[in-house]
Amino acid sequence: MTIAGLAPYARKLASLGRKSRSRTLMAPSGVDFTSNDYLGLANSQRLKDAVRRALDNHVPVGAGGSRLLRGNHPEHQALEHEAGAYFGAEQALYFGSGYAANVALFSTLPQRDDLIIHDALIHASAHEGISASRAPSVAVRHNDVNAVADAINGWRRAGGRGRPWIAVESLYSMDGDLAPLRELKELATRSEGFLLIDEAHATGVFGQGGRGLAHCLGHPENCITLHTCGKALGASGALVLGPAIICDFLINRARNFIYSTAPSPLVAATLRESLRILADEPERRAKLSGLVSFANREMAETTGTHASSSQIIPLLIGDNARAVAIAERLRKEGFDVRAIRPPTVPEGTARLRISITLNVDEVAISRLFERLAAILREEHR
């Protein structure tokens, strides 16, 4: 018997299916061109050995409570101390996920009289935090510093009295392009505001020692960075880095920090090893850089598509159903490529998001783009 109360959900799922926007869970299969394991650390021997050492040292799997109760394990504090030193920040604060960290940042730090100015393509987790904030917000054109300045000036002219919070990603997860961080930092300083930089996809890959694209800014007191740990660092969680007073304020006021069970101490111990790998093995970044350059050349030669600025290479398809169909053909031929559709990307911009990691080599990259080019040619016959 069908429960009547479930009917609205069934109708909405059917509507998603008609728009080719329905999602299902799929296990990893084929050559990895979709994960964010950029440095190949998730299955690395060094991280496995770090887990074994931590277990031998009686580090628990679970924290048993929130950080403000009994869940504040020495491994959390050691990770935060080492991360702050490595990234050059006064203090670090470890969250269970990048999503939770972004929600905490945006819902807690901007005050009622402030204004949040965010890039139109910023991550969904930032939008979630912004929707929970007491501060008003405005979206601006992607990577347009002048649009940010215009938004601040218009707000001031209308009587805005607080501080502007400029929110960007240093490397955009679905477009693969880089933010103009120096110009944005100068604008934030001139405007007596703050710059929030999500380094999720730059951490471990860009900057001196994999410290991210914002490292060149020198961590001034009006810059707060977010480094997720489930991508190039190979584990899970996220680190917020900035002035000590900002981290202390989050400890006292961020509800999803205060009322969440602390992240696994075992994962925190593992991430300490991830930071050591960044310092010890620069060859991983060098190898990835070579693969990215090779992939961009292959894509340009086989498909005529412009190169990406990073390890994230989007191929714009446009139509949802077509993007899904191409991705499915590639998966059947042994390449794990996924279609990205609205609302993750704007309407009419469905795409294949091709991720280059150390889990592939030049042979696999060549084969992928040969097959992709052949599929695209077949479509135009």
d(CA 243, CA 316): 39
As a whole number, the mean pLDDT across the chain is 95
Q: Are residues 172 and 242 in the same domain?
A: yes
Confidence of residue 9 (pLDDT cuts 50, 70, 90): confident
Selecting among 97, 170, 173, 308, the annotated active-site residue is 173
Does the active-site annotation cover 185? no
Is the pLDDT confidence value at 2 over 80? Answer: no
> What is the structure's pLDDT at 267?
98
> What average pLDDT does the segment 168-193 reach?
97
Catalytic residue among 201, 215, 219, 227: 201
The CATH number assigned to the domain holding 345 equals: 3.90.1150.10
Report, as an integer, the average pLDDT of 17-41: 90
Mean pLDDT of the 134-156 span? 97
> Annotated catalytic, 36?
yes
Q: Is-cis flag, bond preceding 342, omega within 30? A: no
Quote the CA–CA distance of 150 and 157 in Å, as a whole number: 10
* Full domain range(s) for residue 234: 45-279
Select which of 76, 118, 123, 185 is catalytic: 123
Where a domain ends, among 236, 257, 279?
279
pLDDT recorded at residue 362? 98
Q: So what's the pLDDT on residue 42?
A: 98
Domain co-membership, 50 together with 195: yes
Please, which pLDDT band fits residue 19 given cuts at 50, 70 and 90? confident
For residue 270, the domain's CATH number is: 3.40.640.10
| Environment class of 75 (CB within 10 Å of its CB; exposed 0-12, middle 13-18, buried 19+) | buried
Q: Does any domain span residue 291?
A: no
Residue 19 among the catalytic residues: no
**Which range (23-32, 55-64, 338-347) has the least confidence?**
23-32
- Catalytic choice (118, 127, 219, 231): 231
Cα Rg of the chain (Å, integer): 22
pLDDT at residue 381, as a whole number: 60
Q: Provide the pLDDT for residue 22.
A: 83
Look at residue 305 in the predicted model and tell me its pLDDT: 85
Structural domain includes residue 12: no
pLDDT digits (tens, 9 = 90+) for 118-140: 999 999 999 999 999 999 999 99
**Quick check: 15 pLDDT over 80?**
yes
Do 56 and 189 lie in a common domain?
Answer: yes
* pLDDT (mean) for 35-50: 98
Looking at the fold, whether 131 and 181 belong to one and the same domain comes out as yes
Answer yes or no: 201 catalytic. yes
65 and 169 co-located in one domain: yes
Whether 262 shows a pLDDT value over 60: the answer reads yes
Q: Which of 207, 270, 218 is nearest to 242 (CA)?
A: 218
When divided into structural domains, the chain yields a total of 2
> Which range has the worst mean pLDDT, 14-28, 97-111, 185-199?
14-28
**Is 300 part of a structural domain of the chain?**
no
For the residues 106-121, what does the mean pLDDT come to? Answer: 98
pLDDT at 219: 83
Of these residues, 198, 199, 298, 336, which one is catalytic?
198
Lowest mean pLDDT among 15-19, 84-88, 350-354: 15-19
- 256 included as an active-site residue: no
